[in-house]
Structure 1
């Protein structure tokens, strides 16, 4: 037993489990990533006792995963934010979510779509979710941009990836084809979205330089945002799949208002032209 414990001292999995190997600790991190940073918000979202929540927050702060930040002097109040170490755990949370979507909630099928007859309530319930304030992602404009624009509406569409170089596996995954088509359709409809008072953002987990090369080649007029660190994915618990050794977005279209609240979602996106037309109709309406 002693020998085993000494070996675990040098095992990254064991050390990670010592910090995160608890149901409530993982769910606290999930909610902080979603933008619920204050004690009462966390208690309400998690339906957790205040004693247990206090213990878990103290544990995560002590291990450098969360930091306490004051937001009120009278009375003294603090909120909890992710540290760099906490941000580094977002891909772990998303990978756990993706694994459960496929192997626990799903039938094990590797797909960029929702299988026929299956349902993903989390995606269906996206309306009402809020994009955390200050969530900015690397963009094809050369600097991080807020996910939510400064117009009445933001139309945000997520897609798996554009371009080649994804290996032999990629074409065999259902739902991966159509990313270039979707970008072109939003490009062609972009003047109509603009006249209707909407900002358009495309989002994938590709690297910014890959997105920039595609945007230049296709003359994409709106910014493409890189969620390579999965911050947006974790914040909204977006549906993903693993393709070409990387977590990728499944195709989703969100309509977000000026208060950063998702008001409409289109998921799954099976008919891409119809979905783009539907998004424009919703903005106009």
Structure 2
């Protein structure tokens, strides 16, 4: 399988860090409050060697932070960094898209911390506030090249 070319493409760089299914599911579980290796493993049913690699990569890339909670035996927990918290709306939008087009199911939700109000994520044009799914879109490269 060919490795994703990161180059100067922000999409490629983002996918290289969070684009595999296990990493996204680890981040989903971290957003739900799981922090410990055994919690992730139990929730995901993931092999320990794969989970170890995913956690190490997410820490290396600054998406999760490792914090020691026990010296004897040495044990760490994994918590979202600001980079990881900034990824949560992407996961939420992906979950909403998946539920819409590939079947209903329980999808974790973003909730406004102060009020407890459930957030319905949509991607909008910052300049107009219009949802992107209401705009006829096409993609171009920087400088307008197609």
Q: TM-score, normalised by structure 1?
A: 0.39
User: In the TM superposition, what is the alpha-carbon distance from 1:121 to its structure 2 partner?
Assistant: 3.9
Please give the residue correspondences for 1:83-94 in structure 2 after superposition, counting only pairs within 5 Å. 83-94=81-92
Q: Distance in 2 between matches of 1:38 and 1:241?
A: 28
User: In the TM superposition, what is the alpha-carbon distance from 1:49 to its structure 2 partner?
Assistant: 0.6
User: In the TM superposition, what is the alpha-carbon distance from 1:245 to its structure 2 partner?
Assistant: 2.5
| Residue in structure 1 matched with residue 50 of structure 2 by the alignment | 52
Distance change (3 Å), C-alpha of 1:55 and 1:121 = same
Q: Indicate yes or no: 2:32 matched with 1:34.
A: yes
Match of 1:10, SS state, is coil
Please give the residue correspondences for 1:184-195 in structure 2 after superposition, counting only pairs within 5 Å. none
Distance change (3 Å), C-alpha of 1:74 and 1:96 = same
Q: Which runs of 5+ in 2 are unaligned?
A: 124-129, 133-146
User: In the TM superposition, what is the alpha-carbon distance from 1:241 to its structure 2 partner?
Assistant: 5.9
- Larger % of strand: which? 1
CA contact 2:89–2:121 (8 Å) conserved in 1: no
Larger Rg: 1
| Residue in structure 2 matched with residue 21 of structure 1 by the alignment | 19
Distance change (3 Å), C-alpha of 1:86 and 1:202 = closer
| Residue in structure 1 matched with residue 131 of structure 2 by the alignment | 245
Total equivalences in the alignment: 120
- Larger % of helix: which? 2
Higher RCO (C-alpha 8 Å, min separation 6): 1
Measured on the aligned residues, the alpha-carbon RMSD in Å equals 2.5
Q: Which runs of 5+ in 1 are unaligned?
A: 106-119, 127-134, 140-200, 206-239, 247-285
Match of 1:122, SS state, is coil
Distance change (3 Å), C-alpha of 1:62 and 1:99 = same
Distance change (3 Å), C-alpha of 1:202 and 1:35 = closer
The Cα offsets for residues 123-151 of structure 1, whole Å up to 9 and x where unpaired, read as 7xx9xxxxxxxx982x4xxxxxxxxxxxx
Match of 1:88, SS state, is helix
The Cα offsets for residues 205-245 of structure 1, whole Å up to 9 and x where unpaired, read as 4xxxxxxxxxxxxxxxxxxxxxxxxxxxxxxxxxx464953
Distance change (3 Å), C-alpha of 1:46 and 1:92 = same
